[in-house]
Structure 1
Amino acid sequence: MKSQDIRDKFLKFFESKQHLIVPSAPMVLKDDPTLMFVNSGMAPFKEYFLGNADPKKNRIADSQKCLRVSGKHNDLEEVGYDTYHHTLFEMLGNWSFGDYFKKEAIAWAWELLTEVYGIDKDILYVTVFEGSDDDSLDVDQEAYDIWKQYISEDRILMGNKKDNFWEMGDQGPCGPCSEIHVDIRSAEEKAKVDGKSLVNMDHPQVVEIWNLVFMQYNRKANGSLEILPNKHIDTGMGFERLCMVLQDVQSNYDTDVFTPIIREIETISGKGYGKDDKTDIAIRVISDHVRAVAFSIADGQLPSNTGAGYVIRRILRRAIRYGFTFLNQKEPFIYKLTDTLSKQMGTAFPELKNQKRLIENVIKEEEHSFLRTLDQGLLLLDRVIENSKSETIAGTKAFELYDTYGFPLDLTQLIAKEKGYNIDEAGFNAEMKKQKDRSRAASASETSDWVVLKEDDTEEFIGYDTLVVDVKLTRYRKVTSKKDGEQYQLVFNMTPFYPEGGGQVGDKGSIEASNGEVIYILDTKKENNVIIHIAKNLPEHLNDTFRAEVNEEHRRLSASNHTATHLLHQALRTVLGEHVEQKGSLVRPKSLRFDFSHYAKVEPDQLQQIEDFVNARIKENLPLEEQRNIPMQKALDEGALALFGEKYGDTVRAIRFGQSMELCGGTHVPNTGDIWHFKIKSEGAIAAGIRRIEAITNMVVGDYFETIDKEYQALKEVLKNPNEPVKAVENLQSENADLKKQIEQLLKDKAKNVKGDLKNEIVDVNGVNFIAKKVDLDASGIKDLCFELGGELDNLFAIFGADNNGKALLSCYISKSLVAEKDLNAGTIVRELGKHIQGGGGGQPFFATAGGKNPDGIEEALKAAKNYL
């Protein structure tokens, strides 16, 4: 049975059980500060479990793409070494929100596995929660009794809290669970070892395929449990593991989910899969990681140096270095796999086809960049080995390679071992622990339970229509962190404050009590569909009625920039082409940032056209046409643009200014004329195929032009107030160029004169023409001097030092014959001598330079040079 058929059968089965089949949510999360990525099938439905929103239907099923590479659920380092852990995986799931419970969940799971898929009952085991003294919980007898109807009791195993009690996090809905395990070992192996002894023991052929979670409790901040008013079902079945069972293979990587990618890696690398352990691990790592990276880019998360982007970059770099080390791939190749991936999974996940070109370009550029970094790291490692005073390289140096160049310990160990060295692994681990401890300390926070003052299901946002309204506080909680100290998160029955989202920053403002007490709102965010107002203090009278007021200027300027991003998007598509798609934005009161897909530099004349286009729309005074709660498909049919990676509901908000129409939840000006003016400040690449424009609008443009005018007047004064300032600058540039040529000629003449004097100072040392001298030349002059002397004299070993404006310079030239005969290396020598001038350098074996900040050390360096002979 092909993987596509397996997925389809699951969805059709639950459709027949009156479940609504929904598409996979984007893997990159944007309104949940507790998670970077969807790491389980239930993550997109958290707001329903928390009671913050109502689902479209009480029964839902889907196939959700998940990523586990950070935080509590981190499988990254296991990927490739075993055959059943992955970074990206599909989670087949069925959900009940206060509808059916254990009886139906267990019955349907058994029916699907044994009757629809035809899995032999005799290879299945199930686990049931055994209870926990910590929480005063008894064995899950209800689940046990239901399972007895389907499977013999000797195949029902008791599981501990770690394996059989599922929790969303430190707080929130949770409950006991039943896992279904499958034993696909041979009959001979089963005869030797009973399968039940291998359940949850990380055996590659005795694995969990489905987890049925019975959400019936809520974990409070103090660790206690309370019973939920409504009970829920949350199940997750590993799609790749299910394919392994149904395709009768012994590894997830032997299923048709992975084999097309593996075959392509074999073709590119010339290495066969299944012949060598290290090669096999590398191929598994790459075939897994390219999926994770491709899906992340398709969902809008580009590799970067921070946050979720850093995680994606780390995954890709892990794949690159495995190819570099074990498949001998020194040039980009992983990007070539995206074509196979899109053909394999593009039907179920069309975003892979739609974003294929972008995915290829981003991965290829990242490969180029990291391969250059690897080369730099290898040079640094060579230097570390050269300078090591023993055969053990310090753990701090190995960690520096890891932290700065992305060199993992195993790669450093491999290269060091080839050169006869080993690594102080304990020292490396100590440095790694220090870094993790620093990271944990910086991000550590403590969040209390919500204190509910008033039950209110609405908590309505009314900020599109008003900036001032009377509100009641419905709940609050305290959050303490090292970064922000003690803060309070407030929720009101209604709010005019726009929460951060869609690239737009959250509103600021205040709430005022009836007694005149003012609490300032520092920021507004959205978490699992709840609008949270962040304040430093808590109101004295919690049950009072408060006057909530948004900072009008902050909102007005943010709205101006947000509307400008829509007009900019339209301009880009008009000037550059309809291939342009928004890939991110940041809308603040004083500036806007807009990222978009485009595969070439935007030329100056194109930028001017774009700027002119936006300003023309501003001058047209286009009114805001807003449609709230319009059906999603109707909006798309009318021409609205939707963004990849965004999560939309059945009904959406559509914003139109003239011919610009987009789905958007942000705030906007009533009329484009309110923007006043639009000015592009910069344009550049941020990734392969992704450009970024930074711009300003409104009063910030006025400030900008005022500053420019002041600088212009100051420049005219410097130029003696000419009538034609541009021509005056051009004349200065011409004069400067002429003077530079004269100086260069004078320096060349000076170098020739110096050369004649220096030839008389060259001495013979063991058959080598040697000179070490401080000279009054710049770097270019010294280089010319070295090569002219080298062309006239054989066996030359020359060291020259110079003090250039307080900076020390050393240059070393060695005739190529000496490099070969006497094993001399100019690069190694200047690195050593560079210590005298408090600097470093490098170069080729016959010519190298070093720079430093201590000119007083030049003489010592020159004296030390003779020791090499």
Structure 2
Amino acid sequence: MTSNEIRQAFLDFFAAKGHTVVPSAPMVIKGDPTLMFTNAGMNQFKDIILGNVQPRWRRAVDSQKCLRVSGKHNDLEEVGHDTYHHTMFEMLGNWSFGDYFKREAIAWAWELLVEVLGIDADRLYVTIFKGDPAHGVPRDDEAYEFWAQHIDRARILEGSVKDNFWMMGDTGPCGPCSEIHIDLRPEAERAKIPGKELVNRDNPLVIEIWNLVFMQYNRKADGHLDPLPAHHVDTGMGFERLCMVLQGKTSNYDTDVFQPLIAFVAGLAGVSYGADSRVDVALRVVADHTRAVAFSVADGQLPSNNKAGYVIRRILRRAVRYGYSFLGFREPFMCKLVPELAAQMGASYPELVRQKELIVRVVEEEETAFLRTLEAGIKLLNTHIEGLKAEGKSQLGGEAAFTMYDTFGFPIDLTELILRENGLTVDLEGFDACMAQQKARSRGAAAVTTGDWVEIRPGGETEFVGYDALEAEVRILRMRQVEAKDSIQYQLVLNRSPFYAEQGGQVGDTGTLTSANEVVRVLDTIKENGLPICVADRFPDNPEVEFHAAVNVEDRLSTACHHSATHLMHFALRRVLGTHVEQKGSLVEPTHLRFDFSHFQKVTPEELRRVEEMVNRMVRAALPLEEFRSIPIAEAKAKGAMALFGEKYGDRVRMIKFGESLELCGGTHVQNTGNIGLFRITSESAISAGVRRIEAVCAGVAEQRDYEMDAQLQDMDGLLRGQGNPLGALQRLMTEHAELKHSLEGLRKQQLQQRAKELFNAGERRGGVMLVRALLQDTAPDDLKELAMAIRAMGPDVAVVLGGVDAGKPSLVVGIAENLVAAKGYHAGRLVKEAAKHIQGGGGGQPGFAQAGGKNAEGLQAAVEEAVKGL
């Protein structure tokens, strides 16, 4: 079976068991402050498991894109070196939300693996939770007895909390799990050592392929476990490992998931896979990491210097470094692999095909930048190597190695490799200490303590009424305290809420909660795992009473104007620039909007004006809002509504329509585009390869901006005495300025020429050389250079050495006539390099002319004398 057939067989099997096939969620997480990336199949169902929303399906099945490169699931350094670790991978999973439990999950897992896929039952082992008195959890006898109906009891092994008790985090849903392991060793090895002795012992051929998690508890902050009101099944099977098993391989990288990519890269590099272990590691790293980067960019996460973007940049740079060091690449190469990946996986993940051009451009730009960094880093490291050898040392200090890593992005293992090639080592303990200090600082800055929810009214979901009302009578369902390093958040969950929770780029509402005896200010409204949360300035004194919730009306209406204007601008951009334009990010606030979109060149002022004019025409047309609050997503797409990559949509969606503009959107909007009043673009810029950013304002903010600009024009006109024509006055002023500047420049050159003659006349003849030397105060380096060049041109035997001081900083120039260079072998570059040591600086140049700068002005006289000694 091919990998595509294996994936489909899994989905078809569980669909036949009454499961709904659910598409993969984006790999980049939104709305969950605890995660940057989807690292397990359960992430997209987290709000269901937490009980924040009711499940849309009782049974589900999917193949989920995952990325494990941060937090406790950090496999990055193992990737490429073994047979089964990956950054980006697919997790096959079947789910039950309060429906079936252990019996069915176990029976169906066995049926699929043994009866449908034909895996040899004699190679399988299963594990169950052996229990843990310290946590108050008994042995999972249920799972044991259900497994005994399918497999020999001798193949049912017991596991500890570490291996067989699954927890979402320090708190939250958790429960025992059963893992299915397979022994892929040859018969001779199996005869020597039973497979059960190698389960969970890191043997590359005795591996876990499927984990069945039975969620039945909720862990509190103090560690105790409460039974969940509904039991859930969460299973996860590594797709790449399953392909390895079914395709008869002993490495995930030998399957058709990776081999086409590896063969393509090997062809680019002119190498063979399997001939050299270091080359093989590099080929595996490049294939794996290109997948991770491509899928991340397709899901809307661009490489950057912070948070999730930094992780993606780090993955890409690790691949580039392996390609540079072991495959000989000196030009971008990962970008050439993207079309191959899109052709291989595009049928299952069409975003790769649709976003292919953008992915290629982003990856190519990142590769180009890092290859320059590598070149610069190697030059810096060579300087360190020269210094170590000159001083008779054999080890580079850990702090220096860390500076190269942290400041210049130069990987420690590449530093180690280059040093080893030069017979040197690096202080890895010192490097690790610097790294540990940095991580400790980061942890300290980011440490957050989240308390348990205090239930005021147990159960129930928040009903959002904010589309229709900005005020409502509400009650508090639960509250908790969240402590960060420098702040405390008081979080409240309401039974019904007019407050919009931050989502889809739109900021959360602010406002008040008022009871008969107190007023609590709502500072923000956020959404965490599908749960709308009001962030308050304090806990209410009496949280059990009814409150009157009121949204800050002015901010909400201004935000709605900016959100609706974002839709109109998106529509206009696609009309003016082309249908390749797609949203890549947005921010909607009361004061402005920011919109990131795919486009491969700067938007011209004329194009921006056309976009602005088109939006304002739609504003003046007073187009009414047509809202489709809950329609099937297929129907919305059939109507032409735009769905954004990187967003997760349910079966039913909300569609917003203004004239011809149709988008899927959960945000708040004006009832009529006329409410927007005025739209103005304030800036356009690039944020990465193929992605541009526009910032704009509308409504009262745009009016205020125009008033301020009018006031500035009037003030400018007054200063310029333009009498109503400030532009004309400014042009006249610039013409006068240019003429004066030209005159001053001519005068300056005359003065320099006169000064050059005076210095030449004061020179001395020494052994066939006309030597001119001088120390000049308050002389800029450029003037010093011009003086030296002018003096050198005054005769065929002139040598000039000038020192100058400008704003306390010394500089030195040496000029030697070409005849002297040819006849006597003088070299200005060598002279100035040695002389610059006296001013604690450096420099260089050609035989006929050189210059240097430094820090120690007191050494300038000695520097001049040092240079003169060489003439």
**CA distances 1:40-60 after superposition (whole Å, capped 9, x unpaired):** 011101111111122222111
3-state SS of paired residue (1:42): helix
Query: In the alignment, what sits opposite 2:596?
Result: 595
Query: In the alignment, what sits opposite 1:500?
Result: 502
Query: In the alignment, what sits opposite 1:37?
Result: 37
8 Å Cα contact 1:772/1:865 also seen in 2? no
1:395-434 superposed matches below 5 A = 395-434=398-437
Counterpart code for 2:281: I
Query: In the alignment, what sits opposite 1:88?
Result: 88
- Structure 1 residue 219 corresponds to structure 2 residue 222: no
Query: In the alignment, what sits opposite 2:380?
Result: 380
User: So what's the TM-score if we normalise by structure 2?
Assistant: 0.93
- Structure 1 residue 738 corresponds to structure 2 residue 739: yes
Query: In the alignment, what sits opposite 2:208?
Result: 208
8 Å Cα contact 1:795/1:818 also seen in 2? no
**CA distances 1:226-259 after superposition (whole Å, capped 9, x unpaired):** 1112211111000111111111112111111011
**CA distances 1:617-671 after superposition (whole Å, capped 9, x unpaired):** 1111222121111221222222211111111111111111122111111011122
User: So what's the TM-score if we normalise by structure 1?
Assistant: 0.93
8 Å Cα contact 1:819/1:846 also seen in 2? no
Counterpart code for 1:675: I
Q: CA deviation at 1:732?
A: 2.5
What percentage of residue pairs aligned between the two structures are identical?
Answer: 53
- Structure 1 residue 394 corresponds to structure 2 residue 410: no
Query: In the alignment, what sits opposite 1:190?
Result: 190
3-state SS of paired residue (2:648): coil
8 Å Cα contact 1:443/1:483 also seen in 2? no
- Change in 2 beyond 3 A, CA 1:36/1:588: same
1:86-485 superposed matches below 5 A = 86-386=86-386, 389=391, 390-484=393-487
- Change in 2 beyond 3 A, CA 1:743/1:494: same
Query: In the alignment, what sits opposite 1:627?
Result: 628
Distance 2:478 2:840 in 1: 63
3-state SS of paired residue (1:134): helix
**Which moved further from structure 2: 264-273 or 89-98?**
264-273
Q: CA deviation at 1:424?
A: 2.0
Distance 1:601 1:538 in 2: 49
Query: In the alignment, what sits opposite 2:605?
Result: 604
Q: CA deviation at 1:417?
A: 3.3
3-state SS of paired residue (1:128): strand
**Which moved further from structure 2: 453-462 or 26-35?**
453-462
**Which moved further from structure 2: 211-220 or 181-190?**
181-190
**Which moved further from structure 2: 745-754 or 280-289?**
745-754
Query: In the alignment, what sits opposite 1:664?
Result: 665
Counterpart code for 1:316: L
Distance 2:634 2:843 in 1: 62
- Change in 2 beyond 3 A, CA 1:220/1:112: same
Counterpart code for 1:213: V
8 Å Cα contact 1:467/1:496 also seen in 2? yes
Query: In the alignment, what sits opposite 1:76?
Result: 76
Counterpart code for 2:496: M
Q: CA deviation at 1:571?
A: 1.0
8 Å Cα contact 1:477/1:488 also seen in 2? yes
8 Å Cα contact 2:301/2:309 also seen in 1? yes
3-state SS of paired residue (1:656): strand
3-state SS of paired residue (2:547): strand
- Change in 2 beyond 3 A, CA 1:683/1:785: same
- Structure 1 residue 533 corresponds to structure 2 residue 534: yes
Over aligned residues, Cα RMSD in angstroms? 3.1
Q: CA deviation at 1:322?
A: 1.4
8 Å Cα contact 2:829/2:846 also seen in 1? no
- Structure 1 residue 15 corresponds to structure 2 residue 18: no
**Which moved further from structure 2: 571-580 or 119-128?**
119-128
Distance 2:771 2:807 in 1: 30
Distance 1:829 1:201 in 2: 62
1:712-727 superposed matches below 5 A = 712-727=713-728
**CA distances 1:795-852 after superposition (whole Å, capped 9, x unpaired):** 999875544456655567799999999997699769966746xxx8888999776667
Counterpart code for 2:705: Y
Query: In the alignment, what sits opposite 1:616?
Result: 617
3-state SS of paired residue (1:359): helix
Q: What is the count of residue pairs matched by the alignment?
A: 864
- Change in 2 beyond 3 A, CA 1:41/1:730: same
**Which moved further from structure 2: 336-345 or 149-158?**
149-158
Query: In the alignment, what sits opposite 1:25?
Result: 25
- Change in 2 beyond 3 A, CA 1:712/1:126: same
Q: CA deviation at 1:262?
A: 0.7
Distance 2:716 2:855 in 1: 34
Q: Which runs of 5+ in 1 are unaligned?
A: none
Distance 1:650 1:124 in 2: 38
3-state SS of paired residue (1:209): strand
3-state SS of paired residue (2:475): strand
**CA distances 1:459-494 after superposition (whole Å, capped 9, x unpaired):** 10000111111100011111111132x221100110
Counterpart code for 2:457: K
Distance 1:99 1:121 in 2: 28
- Change in 2 beyond 3 A, CA 1:20/1:773: same
**CA distances 1:167-193 after superposition (whole Å, capped 9, x unpaired):** 111111111111111221223333444
Counterpart code for 1:234: D
8 Å Cα contact 2:29/2:38 also seen in 1? yes
Q: Which runs of 5+ in 2 are unaligned?
A: none
Q: CA deviation at 1:737?
A: 2.8
Q: CA deviation at 1:418?
A: 3.5
Q: CA deviation at 1:769?
A: 8.8
Distance 1:594 1:121 in 2: 55
Q: CA deviation at 1:721?
A: 3.6
Q: CA deviation at 1:203?
A: 2.0
**CA distances 1:427-459 after superposition (whole Å, capped 9, x unpaired):** 211111111011111111111111111134231
- Change in 2 beyond 3 A, CA 1:87/1:828: farther
Counterpart code for 1:586: L
Distance 1:685 1:819 in 2: 55
Counterpart code for 1:588: E
